[in-house]
Structure 1
Amino acid sequence: MISLAPYLAVVLLMLSAAGCVVIQSDGDSGHDWREEEQDNRSAISGMQIGMTRDEVQQKIGSPRDSESYRRGEDTMLVWFYRTHRTKADGETTRDEMTPLVFRDGVLIGWGEQVYLSSR
């Protein structure tokens, strides 16, 4: 008769190890969402009013989402960066992002109030 004990031990070891794996990517191709949020908050805290689009992009990278519109004679551009998770649903929505608002290519501010007042 063949002993199943060694096989059972291997299976139990595999199952216990599998339970220890935690993946926090939230669908972001392996990049930890906490890291991304922290990096973005840190970069935004170092922003200065008057920076150009290029300067901001060099500092923080490409936005998750963006929009552009005209306000009178001004061209408004809003870049959205993920900064705070509100619910674990695998999706990043605008309520989880901080808007950076540009007027004619120059940063005029960031945050929800600046975004709403620029509309």
Structure 2
Amino acid sequence: MIKKVLQYIVLGLAVYAAIVMLVINFYKDDPQAMIWQDREAFNNRYINKLKPDQDISINDVLETLGSPDLTYVKKQPEKMLQIVYYRTQLVKPDGITTQDECTGLLFEDGKLILWGPAASVAYEKAL
């Protein structure tokens, strides 16, 4: 009797572990469906993992992080600069997302070139 109960417990734990592994490996986070605190943390984690030698396009970022909170574009004859802002830290709980609550990602012709405070400075200096 005890042996059969232990078999069911082990079987139940194995099924539970299999379901957890499937969810972890195959469930894609959807930033649009997250509450704002989780979305901020998700955005922050993603941006902090960026490395200068990565080849990341605007489409890669949009696919992972979803729609940006703020976006601006400057089109020049030889290139197009686009900066997108994702909220990463709450400053004032007023329901309005402002630039100081966000981290900027600067794209030149669709490729990520800078992020963080340097991205905003470079975008502002561009003609």
The TM-score with structure 1 as length reference comes to 0.67
Shift of 1:44: 1.2
- Which ranges in structure 1 are unaligned for 5 or more consecutive residues? 1-29
Aligned residue for 2:72? 67
1:48 and 1:107 map into 2 onto residues whose CA distance is 10
AA in 2 matched with 1:94: Q
Q: How many equivalent pairs are there?
A: 91
After superposition, the C-alpha distances for 1:18-69 in whole angstroms (9 at most, x for unaligned) are xxxxxxxxxxxx9532111101101112334431111111222111111100
AA in 1 matched with 2:105: L
Aligned residue for 2:47? 44
Is the radius of gyration larger for structure 1 or structure 2? 1
Give the root-mean-square deviation of aligned CA atoms.
2.1
Q: Does 1:106 align with 2:111?
A: yes
Shift of 1:110: 0.6
Query: Cα gap change, 1:57/1:48 in structure 2, threshold over 3 Å: closer, same or farther?
Result: farther
Mapping of 1:2-81 within 5 angstroms?
31-49=34-52, 50-71=55-76, 73-81=78-86
1:40 and 1:66 map into 2 onto residues whose CA distance is 15
Q: Is the 1:37–1:82 contact (alpha carbons within 8 Å) kept by the matching residues of 2?
A: yes
Shift of 1:72: 5.8
